[in-house]
Amino acid sequence: RYGYEMCVFVLRVFLATLLCAPCWCLECPDGCECFVSTRTVTCISTDLRAVPQSVPGYARTVIITGNRIHRIGPDSFAELTNVTNVSLGNNRITALDSHSFSPLLSLHFLDLSGNRLTLIHPEALSIPASPLQDLNLSRSLYNATSLTDLATALRWGGLRGLLRLDLSGNRLALLPPGMFSHLPNLRQLFLANNSLVAIYGGTFSGVSHLQMLDLTGNAFTAFRTDALQELERLGSVQVLLGQNPYACSCEIRNFVVWLNESRAQVDVDALRCASPKELSNSRLWGISTLAVGCAVPVQAQAEAGAGDLTLQTSYVFLGLVLGFVGMVFLFVLYLNRHGMKKWIIEMRDACRDVMEGYHYRFEIDSDPRLGRISVQNGG
């Protein structure tokens, strides 16, 4: 009996070790760690040049970071239909081939942050049944061409189930119109720490369920009317607009009014003036439009404003003079009202006599009998 209990104890210790410690069995790729209890495979900074092909079938999460994997192809994740989370951050990846992630039929989370993507195939993100919900591409787009490729990939990827998209830290200066129009269920969009200077009409077209939009840390100095209309169209979305170099001059007046009237949930306490100097670090929230309108840092604009004021004063003075002349004229007419009445009556009578004479001559000329009498008398 003692031998039996000892065998049971050894078996339990073995199973506990198997479940709690990394599994260094033959299935685990070289240089990686495999955890059966969490169904996780990690390959961190092991100088891999490609995605390992011997990932255990029980894996649900695959973390491959800090390596030198330059390309992801359709064979990189073959037969890993049960994997739900893939992290490929900081691997120096430059290219995503067609259907790179198609074998990952259960993929919900994909992290491609910190790479150097220069070539993205239009169908690189295409996965049957569109299971992907969270896509992290922060600090991963190498140049403007990769942004164009990404816009095409979002269009043709069939990512109708995507809920979260992170494009932070990519030095983006503009967003192609309709770039997110094929992501109808998108809830969170991160565009922080880029170089965006403006939002144009149609930028967020097709995105009707957005709940959070992060635009912090960009290069916005103000928002034009079309940009404010585009933001207002999103409804009661949470909009983060802090850490932008706002220029508190007359051009920002509409933005201040929008902050006070919009349905959007804006981080108003984080909005500060960067210029002019006298309004530096002042809150935009609650600042009066009069104060913003008077904050004109350019001397030429101040002189132009003074010229407009002088012109307005001249118009007012001219109006007063003309009004005074009109009043004098009416007063003179009032004093001579009796003489004016007599003159009008005399003019009326004279006109009546002239018209009666013309009428009499017309009747004579139009009556043929009177015409013959006139001829006979003349003979």
The answer to whether the beta carbons of residues 239 and 248 sit under 8 Å apart is: no
Which two three-digit tokens encode residue 32?
């990686």
CA Rg value for the chain = 42
Per-residue pLDDT of the chain (379 residues; tens, 9 = 90+): 544 454 444 455 444 444 444 444 447 999 899 999 999 999 999 999 999 988 999 999 999 999 999 999 999 999 899 999 999 999 999 999 999 999 999 999 999 999 999 999 999 999 999 899 999 999 999 988 999 999 999 999 999 999 999 999 999 999 999 999 999 999 999 999 999 999 998 999 999 899 999 999 999 999 999 999 999 999 999 999 999 999 988 888 889 889 988 889 999 999 999 988 888 888 887 676 555 555 444 344 444 455 566 777 777 888 888 888 888 888 787 777 777 778 788 788 778 777 766 666 666 666 565 555 454 544 4
Burial 305-336 (b: 16+ CB within 10 A, else e): eeeeeeeeeeeeeeeeeeeeeeeeeeeeeeee
Would you give the DSSP letter of residue 277? Answer: G
The full set of domain ranges for the chain reads: 28-162, 172-295
Sorted by sequence, the CB contacts under 8 Å of residue 212 that are 6+ apart come out as 187, 188, 189, 237, 238, 240
Distance, CA of 243 to chain centre: 16
Long-range own/partner contacts, residues 352-355 (CB < 8 A, 24 or more apart): none
Class of domain 28-162: alpha beta
Torsion angles phi and psi, residue 31, rounded to 5: 80, 5
Domain 172-295 adopts which CATH fold? Answer: 3.80.10
Distance, CA of 167 to CA of 151 (rounded, Å): 12
